[in-house]
Amino acid sequence: MFSEQIDQSILKEIYDKAISVSDFGKVATYIPELSLMSPNLFSLSCVISESGEIVETGDTDTYFTMQSISKILSLSYAIEKLGMDKVFKSVDMEPTADSFNSLMRLEMASPIPANPFMNAGAIVICSILQKELGRGAFNEITSFCELFTGVKPKLNQKVFNSEMSTADRNKSLAYFLNSTGLLMDSVENSLDLYIKLCSLECTTLDLAKIADVLSCGGKSSFTGKHPLSFETVKTIMGIMITCGLYNGSGEFAVRVGIPAKSGVSGGILAVAPGRMGIGVFSPPLDPKGNSLAGFYALELLSDRQNLRGVKILD
């Protein structure tokens, strides 16, 4: 089964179908600034691997914050600079049925976070980077992001302040991790870096450009830079397919079938290996914290373009 060449008309068809399900979701309100996003926004961007061709539809000029999608950047940077052994000494790489900000598993099972895409795991990664890079950690990671997108992302100060003022659960996670000796830097420094990275601004095209690097084995079709080794790409995509949509990752793997990472602002970054990098954004979320319309759009795109790479026999 061969997929047709993607163009804007295909994305527009997907947009028209996907936007209808957003009415069944709810914009995140536990971070007050995120609740101000219009539930009617929708954007879908693709960067075609190798050629670097860009195909987009919807509200493509809209900026939103990366939230948990930024965990791809912090984890990738940590692996590239510090190595697998050091990074995965303090965090595991296993999927979990728990919510993304769960504290229960740390107490009931193991103090080591199940994976680096859960909040606890990402806070540990940020603590490691803080210890290694000190005050320059945030600047180093945003400069690293520029290798993917060609633009250094900006901090949304309003979202950062809003998230900091309501970060009780993340503070609880950080203090618990600190009590078990897993944080490499102070609670305050680790949380500051974690929440700053979550508050980085992006568009769906920025997400598609980051995904394109993963699609191309570590090299950007857009910038020509080579920010990731193939070993890092394999690791990141393996964790994305098993853990990228929190406790909705299994359903996503069945319905969409490609590696992806979501964020509670409504963004999803997805990778069709060797085919394209994809970014989608729609603020209304399902109960697990994933964009409803974004999820559905990726399912439609995967089916339409046969992104799973499975040949259907008649």
Tens of pLDDT along 235-255?
A: 999 999 999 998 899 999 999
Annotated catalytic residue 194: yes
In this structure, the answer to whether residues 102 and 251 fall within a common structural domain is no
Tell me if 49 sits within 8 A of 308, measured CB to CB: no
Average pLDDT, the chain: 92
Tell me if 65 sits within 8 A of 209, measured CB to CB: no
Compare 50 and 188 and report the one with higher pLDDT.
188
Question: Which residue among the candidates 68, 220, 291, 302 is catalytic per the annotation?
Answer: 68
Q: Which of 180, 198, 216 is the last residue of a domain?
A: 198
Query: What's the rounded Cα separation, in Å, for the pair 107 and 117?
Result: 18
Of 10-14, 15-19, 75-79, 310-314, the range with the lowest mean pLDDT is 310-314
Angle at CA of residue 105, ends 103 and 110, nearest 5°: 120
In this structure, the answer to whether residues 176 and 236 fall within a common structural domain is no
Alpha helix ranges (H) inside the chain = 8-18, 71-82, 84-87, 104-108, 119-133, 137-149, 157-165, 168-179, 187-198, 204-215, 230-243, 249-255, 292-305
pLDDT per residue over 272-293, tens digit each?
A: 999 999 999 999 999 999 999 9
Residue 2 lies in a domain: no
pLDDT per residue over 62-102, tens digit each?
A: 999 999 999 999 999 999 999 999 999 999 888 775 665 56
In this structure, the answer to whether residues 31 and 145 fall within a common structural domain is no
Annotated catalytic residue 63: no
pLDDT per residue over 143-188, tens digit each?
A: 999 999 999 999 999 999 999 999 999 999 999 899 999 999 999 9
pLDDT per residue over 104-154, tens digit each?
A: 565 556 678 889 999 999 999 999 999 999 999 999 999 999 999 999 999
Using CA of residue 286, residue 290, residue 293, residue 295, what is the dihedral sign?
negative
User: β-pairing, 201-202 with 260-262?
Assistant: unpaired
Residue 310 lies in a domain: no
Question: Which residue among the candidates 27, 264, 271, 280 is catalytic per the annotation?
Answer: 264
Tell me if 148 sits within 8 A of 209, measured CB to CB: yes
Annotated catalytic residue 264: yes
pLDDT of residue 137: 96
Compare 151 and 222 and report the one with higher pLDDT.
151
Annotated catalytic residue 74: no
In this structure, the answer to whether residues 129 and 216 fall within a common structural domain is no
In this structure, the answer to whether residues 87 and 17 fall within a common structural domain is no
Does residue 311 surpass a pLDDT of 60? no
Tokens describing residue 92: 């595991």
Question: Which residue among the candidates 21, 22, 43, 71 is catalytic per the annotation?
Answer: 71
Provide mean pLDDT across the span 192-199: 98
Residue 272 lies in a domain: yes
Residue 41 lies in a domain: yes
Residue 285 main-chain phi, psi, to 5 deg: -110, 160
Q: In CATH, what number is assigned to the domain containing residue 87? A: 3.40.710.10
pTM: 0.94
Which residue's entry shows tokens 């995965």?
88
Number of domains within the chain: 2
In the chain, what percentage of residues exceed pLDDT 90? 81
Q: Which of 147, 170, 198 is the last residue of a domain?
A: 198
Question: Which residue among the candidates 102, 162, 221, 246 is catalytic per the annotation?
Answer: 246
Does residue 3 surpass a pLDDT of 60? no
Closest listed residue to residue 278, CA positions, set 267, 288, 287 = 267
Annotated catalytic residue 55: no
Does residue 6 surpass a pLDDT of 90? no
In this structure, the answer to whether residues 74 and 185 fall within a common structural domain is yes
In this structure, the answer to whether residues 50 and 82 fall within a common structural domain is no
Range(s) of the domain holding residue 277: 8-65+202-305
Compare 52 and 62 and report the one with higher pLDDT.
62
Closest listed residue to residue 225, CA positions, set 208, 215, 213 = 213
Does residue 314 surpass a pLDDT of 80? no
